[in-house]
């Protein structure tokens, strides 16, 4: 990082240059902001800004391209991994990632997600699981927990009719096309440092052309959950981690 001085003090952290000046439109305390920032830190530190193409989903992060100062495409709802496949196949030398929410990746996009990984497309899929449809106002997601109240599960998610919270990452880890599969979160500075490492690794792995890297980030949605940001992190730890345990699900064999 270049040396900037503030009355003799050294700069030790500043917003990455790979983020634009546009302030995030996200609600206060939303994990999307944290993940965007960390992702762009990695892009900056690995110097691949000119070699990376990102795919934004339809979801709260639909505007990701307003913030990430890289070439990006905005995909149809659920099709981000298909769009990423199209890009990577014609630009095999470039780094390609998709950034998707749980509704996008695990509901409407289920087929594209599974087949993209099954083909072992050499891309990184970042899966932001906040157990709800944030953008559309807090409806039930495939990852919504048992009994969790949302605008479309007003009496709490009920298995008999709405089905079970879908652990799609566990399914993904089964596919031979998956090279690195991990579940991380953003509830503490250290968790965020771990997430950053996972992203860093994934871009290194992408050079190897040996399969898909898949990072689930258990995240929050204060607005959808109707909690303050701090409450939301607590709720996440108490309710989401037990069902979506953090850690690596599949690590490269060699």
Ligand X SMILES: Cc1ncc(C[n+]2csc(CCOP(=O)(O)OP(=O)(O)O)c2C)c(N)n1
Distances (CA, A) of 56 to 7, 31, 63, 68, 227: 40, 16, 7, 10, 26
Identified binder of a second copy from the candidate list 1, 4, 91, 111, rule CB under 8 A: 111
Measured in whole angstroms, the distance separating CA 137 from the mean position of its chain's CA atoms is 19
Number of residues located near ligand SF4, criterion CB under 6 A: 12
Residue 127 to residue 72: CA distance in whole angstroms: 17
Residue showing tokens 């769009």: 83
Which of 68, 135, 172, 246 is the binder for ligand X (CB under 6 A)? 135
Token pair 């070439």 is at which residue? 71
In terms of CB distance, is 42 or 60 closer to other proteins? 60
The answer to whether 60 contacts ligand SF4 (rule: CB under 6 A) is yes
Q: Is 26 in the site for ligand SF4 (CB under 6 A)?
A: yes
CB of 29 to ligand SF4, least distance (A): 6
CA dihedral 96, 99, 104, 109 (to 10 degrees): 20
Closest distance to ligand X from the beta carbon of 230 (Å): 20
Binders of a second copy in range 158-177 (CB under 8 A):
159-164, 166-167, 170-171, 174-177
Among 16, 103, 134, 165, binds ligand SF4 (CB under 6 A): 134
Task: Give least dist CB 175 to ligand SF4, A.
Answer: 26
If one counts every other C-beta atom within 10 angstroms of the C-beta of residue 251, the result is 11
User: Which listed option, Mg ion, ligand SF4, a second copy, none, makes contact with residue 102 (CB within 5 to 8 Å by class)?
Assistant: Mg ion
Contact residues for 190 (Cβ-Cβ < 8 A; gap 6+): none
Q: Cβ-count burial of 166 within 10 angstroms (0-12 exposed, 13-18 middle, 19+ buried)?
A: middle
Our finding on whether 223 is near ligand SF4 (CB under 6 A) is yes
Choose which of 76, 114, 200, 227 interacts with a second copy (CB under 8 A): 114
């Amino acid at each position: 990082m270049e040396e900037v001085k503030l009355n003799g003090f050294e700069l030790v952290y500043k917003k990455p240059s790979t983020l634009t000046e546009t302030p995030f439109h996200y609600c206060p305390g939303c994990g999307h902001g944290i993940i965007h920032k960390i992702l762009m830190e990695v892009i900056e530190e690995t110097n691949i800004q000119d070699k990376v193409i990102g795919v934004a989903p339809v979801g709260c992060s639909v505007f990701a391209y307003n913030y990430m100062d890289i070439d990006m495409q905005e995909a149809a709802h659920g099709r981000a991994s298909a769009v990423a496949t199209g890009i990577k196949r014609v630009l095999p030398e470039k780094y390609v990632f998709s950034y998707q929410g749980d509704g996008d990746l695990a509901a409407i996009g289920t087929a594209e997600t599974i087949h993209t990984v099954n083909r072992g497309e050499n891309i990184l899929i970042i899966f932001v699981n906040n157990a709800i449809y944030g953008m559309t106002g807090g409806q039930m997601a495939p990852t919504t927990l048992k009994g969790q109240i949302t605008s479309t599960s007003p009496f709490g998610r009920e298995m008999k009719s709405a089905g079970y919270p879908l652990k799609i990452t566990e399914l993904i880890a089964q596919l031979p096309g998956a090279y690195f599969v991990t579940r991380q979160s953003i509830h503490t500075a250290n968790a965020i440092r771990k997430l950053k490492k996972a992203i860093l690794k994934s871009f290194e792995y992408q050079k190897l052309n040996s399969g898909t890297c898949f990072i689930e980030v258990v995240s929050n949605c204060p607005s959808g959950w109707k909690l303050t940001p701090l409450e939301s992190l607590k709720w996440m730890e108490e309710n989401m981690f037990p069902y979506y345990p953090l850690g690596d699900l599949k690590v490269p064999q060699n």
